[in-house]
Amino acid sequence: MGSVRVTVVTSGHLSTCPRMLKAADAFAAAGHHVRVVATVHEPWATETDRDVRSRRAWPVDAVDYRRGQGLTYWRSGVRYHFARRVVGAVGPERAPWAAAARAFGRVHSEIVAAATRAPADVIYGGTTGALAAVAESARRLGVRFGVDFEDLHSAETAGPGAAAVDALASRIERDVSARADFVTTSSDAIATAYRRAYGIDPLVIHNAFPLPSTPPDFGRTSDTKLRLYWFSQTISPGRGLEEIVAAIGLADIPADLDVRGRAVDAYAARMTELAHATAPRLTLRFDAPISPDAIIDSCRPYDIGLAIERTDVRNRALCLTNKALTYPLAGLAVVLTETEGQRAFGLDLGDGALMYRPGDVQTLARGLRRWHANAGLLVCAKRAAWHAAVTRWHWEHRDERDALVRRMESAVS
């Protein structure tokens, strides 16, 4: 087919939404005209945004709502909190769509304005605060649209007020998916949940990265200790890191644990104290976030990647994260919690994965101790993980990048 004008929309920073970044790259590589709408709101992410944009030719419209950078921060905040009060008073189901959309996405109006600023043939987008904006932008332009439910948004909130937030998310999910020309999601387990909830059939596009041009070095990175790695946008409680520290202490092995992301200072201090108290042979380090283009290379100095998910929040039990899919591309053995979202992937990695049930620190400790004691076993695990990545778990696989492009093209053909 001929070239299509595609607007890709995210409510996050360009560099913190690798899923939309890869989608834009895929559409552009297929010969389509791509334009991206993203936001700027976290000072720490502006440098990684510049790094990502420096290697792309397609244009980006950025909605900047950083505090102190004009009136958007204040205007959107007042509108957001007013919409939340309206929805809270009448309930998500009875609230007008305009109020529900603005209560769900703080800069919904600004994203819609940016997305409709230029013509498009199709709009595709995701991340929580952009879901309603994608549908609204397509309606205003009179074009087709696809929406990405990367997470089960109606079951991803924890803590006080979670039920109200999830109910609002459910309203948005249902209304947007009913109007969308296609829906994508990130795991088979999440797809099943959406199928049961709304009778839709999402296309599963996993959070895999491209195969690296340089293959891994499978040798053990240290003769005396294990080197473990974990990354995410935010380093905070409830991510399973405490279990890793406890297991290393129980195994009584020397190890390095490098944790990459934006750390909450108080939590980083508590984790450091926990490591000193329970795992004296562990060296714990905190590293700053980096560009998604560099994430595979950042894994290379390590032996083991950690993909630990909890099950108290339903979405976390169903997801298959980009971290789990990234480690094998760097030739790392992978530690996985055996959740609904990760079980099939862990089985596919075979000897490349150590799976344990959330909370089962004893099993985790035994597995780490075996890998520390037997260098050959660890090397075999790293090779098995890489083999699985090359065979199936990479972005260029026909069921990932090409499937997304075909689905977008079919929506406008």
Return the domain boundaries, the chain. Answer: 5-208+396-412, 226-391
pLDDT of res. 127:
92
pLDDT of res. 380:
97
- Percent of the chain exceeding pLDDT 90 equals 93
User: Taking Cα atoms as reference points, which of 80, 74, 103, 77 lies closest to residue 90?
Assistant: 103
Q: Taking a C-beta distance cutoff of 8 angstroms, is the pair 56, 141 a contact?
A: no
Amino acid at 55: R
- Which residues, 6+ apart, have CB-to-CB distance to 391 below 8 Å? none
Considering just the CA atoms, what is the radius of gyration of the chain in Å? 22
pLDDT of res. 241:
94
Q: Taking a C-beta distance cutoff of 8 angstroms, is the pair 413, 406 a contact?
A: no
pLDDT tens for 161-171 read 899 999 999 99
Q: Taking a C-beta distance cutoff of 8 angstroms, is the pair 237, 271 a contact?
A: no
Distances (CA, A) of 377 to 15, 351, 354: 36, 9, 12
pLDDT of res. 18:
95
List the structure tokens of 13.
């920073």
Show the CA angle centred on residue 349, arms to residues 153 and 287, nearest 5°.
Answer: 60
Residue keyed to tokens 């102190």: 68
Residue segments in the chain with a per-residue pLDDT below the cut of 70: none
pLDDT tens for 180-228 read 999 999 999 999 999 999 999 999 999 999 999 999 999 988 989 999 9
pLDDT of res. 152:
98
Q: What is the pTM of this model?
A: 0.95
Per-residue b/e over 144-154, b at no fewer than 16 CB within 10 Å? bbbbbbbbbbb
Q: Taking a C-beta distance cutoff of 8 angstroms, is the pair 310, 6 a contact?
A: no
- Which residues, 6+ apart, have CB-to-CB distance to 238 below 8 Å? 158, 310, 312, 313
pLDDT of res. 279:
97
pLDDT of res. 370:
97
Assigned CATH for 226-391: 3.40.50.2000
pLDDT of res. 174:
98
Assigned CATH for 5-208+396-412: 3.40.50.2000
Q: How far apart are CA 169 and CA 295, in angstroms?
A: 30
User: Taking Cα atoms as reference points, which of 207, 187, 162 lies closest to residue 317?
Assistant: 187
pLDDT of res. 239:
86
pLDDT of res. 1:
72
* Topology match between the domains 5-208+396-412 and 226-391: yes
Q: How far apart are CA 411 and CA 413, in angstroms?
A: 6
Q: How far apart are CA 229 and CA 307, in angstroms?
A: 9
Residue keyed to tokens 């104290």: 273
CB atoms within 10 A of CB 241: 22
